[in-house]
Structure 1
Amino acid sequence: MAIFDGARTLGIWGYGREGQAVHRFVRAQYSGIAVTVLLDQADYALELPKGVALLNGDSAVHAIAQGRFDVIVKSPGISLKRQEIVDAKAAGTRVTSSTNLWLEANGVAGTIGVTGTKGKSTTSTLILHMLRAAGRDAKLLGNAGTAAIGEAPAVDHTILELSSYQTADLDRAPALVVVNNLYPEHVPWHGSVEAYYDDKLRLATIECHVPAVLNYRDAEIRKRLGERANVTWFNDGQGYTAVGASLSYQGRPVSLTGAVPKGEHNLSNVAAAATVALLLDALEDPWSIDLGGFATLPHRMEEFAVGGLTCVDDSISTVPQATMAALSVYAGRPIHLILGGSERGQDHAALPDAIRAAGVVSLWLLPDTGRRMEAEFAGRLDEVTMTPVADLDAAVRGACELADEGDVLLLSPAAPSFVQFRSFEERGAQFRALCERYADNSSPGGGGGPA
């Protein structure tokens, strides 16, 4: 059954950029459907087109739970585990997403779905770069860029970057699927780590005949999808494999030119993208890849020099594994590391060893997870100056006062940003501004920092 078959009423749950795009799409394609915008906020006012209803707060929740809509298209951030969604489905409402609308409207031909806990934006952008370099008409839609709904597919390849919120209720798989890695993340939304893994891997399990590009080095992926048919592995020693600062294919070194991203984790993203390009006959020489024109995405190990310091904005780091990957890039240099953010029950057990091995000289711990880290790291990092701080301003100021010329000031928080910021982008932008304020005006090696 098509999503809107027999539907007379539609609830659009959430009315940000994507919700508005859904509304435009429905208005153009299904003009006879009565539309209601649903908002969790109790007192939020909106100017809506004539004939469109608005329900807020409890009124919206009750209408959803009572099954008053034939179809609900929800924003990705609204968890499928919410009781009102469970009740709505039981009452016969079709609860779906803009991704499902787009795939139903445009079909899956030429689509490439990319997911993974970390690196999916970089991998998607690398795939786009390689396909365009081969002369293909390609575009990137989805999680980090332009919402897919309302956008026409590319002539040759449409890359859909998909978060776990978007894969959790997929109705169909894209023509080719890519999974980078799996780490515990977004547990409150999914309900458990196991549910997160299941929802994330739905991209590769909903239609197991679809070709899949998977990371052999990731034990969780290997355990769950090791017997899946039609898989091309990377990081398996035979296909594209990243080790340290090198990439190989069939055991032979690959020549990388242009803007090669730093770190083994980023070379793993290159390996995934190159595997896709090779499958699509978009690489002229498998052992020579030109990344000229590729630019590192903002807030992903983004380096800038200020006042003799190497400042690194890795605000996208929301899990400990991402922080450990960033530390490995700067190992051997004096590092001043800023950690901490929203509490999601992250497992920090492996962080102290990575911090010690990298040569971190000072730690600046932000709320909320910073408080837990201080207790967990006690007695394990006696050689590291460890300072709890109230906010990012205090962390950057203290680190700049302590740092010597040539040191690395690394923001890689191992936690989401939502305690003090609206997004990781806002956190990263503030980090840069604070570095420019304090690193330019500090006296390197002056010592001190906030108590």
Structure 2
Amino acid sequence: MITSTTWSGKRYAVLGLARSGQASVAALLASGARVVAWDNSEERREATRSSRAQSRDGAHGQRVSTSLDTNGSLELADPLETDLSGFAGVVVSPGVPINRHPIAAHAAAAGVPLIGDIELFAQARAELPAHKVVGITGTNGKSTTTALIHHILDSAGISARMGGNIGLPILGQEPLTPNDNGAGVYVLELSSYQIDLTQSLDCDVAVLTNITPDHLDRYAGFDAYAASKARLFAMQSPDHAAIIGIGDIPSANIARNLAKSGRSEALTKIAPGVCMDQSRWPSLQGPHNAQNALAAIAACEALGLSRDAIDAGLESFPGLPHRMERLGVHKGLLWVNDSKATNPTSTAPALQAFGRIHWILGGQAKTDDLEACRPGFGNVVQAYTIGEAAELFETLLRPEMPVARVDTLDAAVHAALTVAQPGDTVLLSPACASFDQFRDFEARGDAFRALVEGLE
């Protein structure tokens, strides 16, 4: 666990007790802070109560019912009903919509900043052993790029941790220590929500894959969303490396502004459409993965890795669960889990990667069109729409291809079985968020995997 004397003796509120919130509570308490924590989920509140009350067990193992830990530094209470005067910060889960949640106004009235677990990590860095930080953001490709950079570092024998918007919360992981191959590296996938809650993260290497319309319910418009991504570079020291994909106008503008500010020497631009030999990278096929690989190569070069070490990591990279993940052939059909495709731009590569596709899509729509997917429409035999967007997507796709509105993932799987021919591909690539029917994209992908495995 990462701790810091910076937090000792101070008071913090933590709103949202999923994985990052739980890790924040634990790290703050271990550092000597006093914490008010809350989640609307009684189950999560109870999990926090239980985990912090373990040391309160009686001599005969009986559980002492309390909302406070041993020294009374944790209280389970709603920050909205708490006087926040004198608090050092309100640690907000990235899932809390701060553009419309009343916690923003409540904290502002008390003069208390809204922060996230990544900001806590940034504050703790001065006390950590020598290390570097790579931060990766972007609408699409950031998870693959993050996992790829981490894998290359790990393959090269460099001590590395992966966290942020992927894997385990970074505060809950053990601090890195340098080894014979140099300082450890923290590799962080950063969503715009996490960047919004961060003020002092100075990445040694910052990466932007791309910016396309997404999460617009959380921003005043697309420009505001793009500005959130740009803040990752604004927090950097001028001589730290910036790697930016320039295949879209907002990203290209960010690169241009960095160059104008005098950071040309530290800037690497990743242009689209670069031809690469990807034949030795089985899990990095397609033009989108060429861009991801180029960004990872540039980041690892900025960290001082040799090209041989980078090549070895590219060749052995196993790929990510839920991202064009082949679940195998069942009932004569190839089943592919692309649940991480939560917007149309992210779905587009999958539609171009397979032939004769039975496309399962839908959920909580982020846009009202599917134009980004159009280049792959010719590969789709039939679409099956589910979730809140089922009716919208049925209407959009009906002029283009056969569509069945089936509403649920289970119904879509069984509907595809009745239509698909041996050799066809059944692809879950929703182009939507999952929150209407699932906890997150991972839960949706796991449900799809379970349905497919149940076909045997």
Residue 60 of structure 2 is matched in structure 1 by none
Point out the more displaced range, 78-87 or 391-400.
Answer: 78-87
Residue 185 of structure 1 is matched in structure 2 by 214
Quick one: distance in 2 between partners of 1:339 and 1:150? Answer: 34
For the pair 1:354 / 2:375, whether they are aligned, the reply is yes
Residue 112 of structure 2 is matched in structure 1 by 93
Residue 38 of structure 2 is matched in structure 1 by 38
Residue 233 of structure 1 is matched in structure 2 by 268
Residue 174 of structure 1 is matched in structure 2 by 203
Residue 251 of structure 1 is matched in structure 2 by none
For the pair 1:339 / 2:326, whether they are aligned, the reply is no
Quick one: distance in 2 between partners of 1:378 and 1:186? Answer: 26
Quick one: distance in 2 between partners of 1:369 and 1:329? Answer: 24
- Among the aligned pairs, what percent are the same residue? 30
Q: Which runs of 5+ in 2 are unaligned?
A: 50-66
Residue 377 of structure 1 is matched in structure 2 by 397
Residue 22 of structure 1 is matched in structure 2 by 24
Q: State the 1:288 CA deviation.
A: 4.9
Contact 1:255 1:287 in 2 (8 A): no
Change (3 A) 1:226 1:347: farther
Residue 243 of structure 2 is matched in structure 1 by 213
Residue 54 of structure 1 is matched in structure 2 by 76
Name the SS of the counterpart of 2:316 in structure 1. Answer: coil
What residue identity is the alignment partner of 1:124? T
Quick one: distance in 2 between partners of 1:194 and 1:255? Answer: 34
**Greater per-residue helix proportion:** 2
What residue identity is the alignment partner of 1:314? D
Q: Deviations over 1:362-419 (max 9, x none)?
A: 010112112112223343x1xx221111211111111111111111111101001111
Name the SS of the counterpart of 2:289 in structure 1. Answer: helix
Residue 427 of structure 2 is matched in structure 1 by 410
Contact 2:196 2:228 in 1 (8 A): yes
Contact 2:27 2:171 in 1 (8 A): yes
For the pair 1:364 / 2:392, whether they are aligned, the reply is no
Q: State the 1:9 CA deviation.
A: 2.6
What residue identity is the alignment partner of 2:427? L
For the pair 1:160 / 2:183, whether they are aligned, the reply is no
Q: Deviations over 1:234-258 (max 9, x none)?
A: 542xxxx654xx52xxxxxx57535
What residue identity is the alignment partner of 2:93? S
Change (3 A) 1:346 1:272: farther
Name the SS of the counterpart of 1:92 in structure 2. Answer: coil
Contact 1:121 1:144 in 2 (8 A): yes
For the pair 1:297 / 2:320, whether they are aligned, the reply is yes
Quick one: distance in 2 between partners of 1:410 and 1:15? Answer: 33
Residue 104 of structure 1 is matched in structure 2 by 123
Normalised by the length of structure 2, the TM-score is 0.82
Change (3 A) 1:127 1:55: same
Contact 1:102 1:150 in 2 (8 A): no
Q: Deviations over 1:55-99 (max 9, x none)?
A: 14xxx32326x6473422222222332333133123211322221
Quick one: distance in 1 between partners of 2:77 and 2:311? Answer: 56
Name the SS of the counterpart of 1:312 in structure 2. Answer: strand
For the pair 1:309 / 2:330, whether they are aligned, the reply is no
The total of aligned residue pairs comes to: 413
Quick one: distance in 2 between partners of 1:166 and 1:130? Answer: 24
Change (3 A) 1:68 1:347: farther
Residue 389 of structure 1 is matched in structure 2 by 406
Quick one: distance in 1 between partners of 2:375 and 2:105? Answer: 42
Quick one: distance in 2 between partners of 1:3 and 1:202? Answer: 27
* Pairing 1:422-437 to 2, within 5 Å after superposition: 422-437=439-454
Quick one: distance in 2 between partners of 1:368 and 1:377? Answer: 15
Contact 1:258 1:290 in 2 (8 A): no
Quick one: distance in 2 between partners of 1:227 and 1:344? Answer: 28
Given candidates 429, 437, 442, the residue that maps to 1:420 is 437
Residue 13 of structure 1 is matched in structure 2 by 15
Q: Which runs of 5+ in 1 are unaligned?
A: 248-253, 441-451
Given candidates 124, 135, 143, the residue that maps to 2:146 is 124
What residue identity is the alignment partner of 1:17? R
